[in-house]
Amino acid sequence: MKSFIEPLTQCLHPDTRVRMADWSVKAIKDIKVGDMVLGCDKEGHARPVEVLNTYRNGKKPMYKTSFRAISRSK
């Protein structure tokens, strides 16, 4: 099982709050290997998950993508 935040960590603000396994909250920048966070599987079942790695990739360019509906006239 993986933490639900794993794929998102490169684009989250360092102060983003993470729910810990004991229901407390920590800033994502303060999460350390060995901490227990509340993880979630693909079916939405939550359970405690140990943090196995952290990534500090520095500042990266961010992009904003917007979508808009296009009205098609017949």
20-50 confidence digits (pLDDT tens)? 999 999 999 999 999 999 998 889 899 999 9
Which tokens hold the place of 63?
């992009």
Q: Which long-range contacts (CB under 8 A, 24 or more apart) does 6-9 make?
A: 9/55
Q: Is the pLDDT of residue 1 over 70?
A: no
What integer pLDDT is reported at residue 26 of this predicted model? Answer: 96
Q: What is the pTM of this model?
A: 0.61
What residues contact residue 33 under an 8 Å CB cut-off, 6+ apart? 51, 52, 53, 54
Q: Helical H runs in 8-51?
A: none
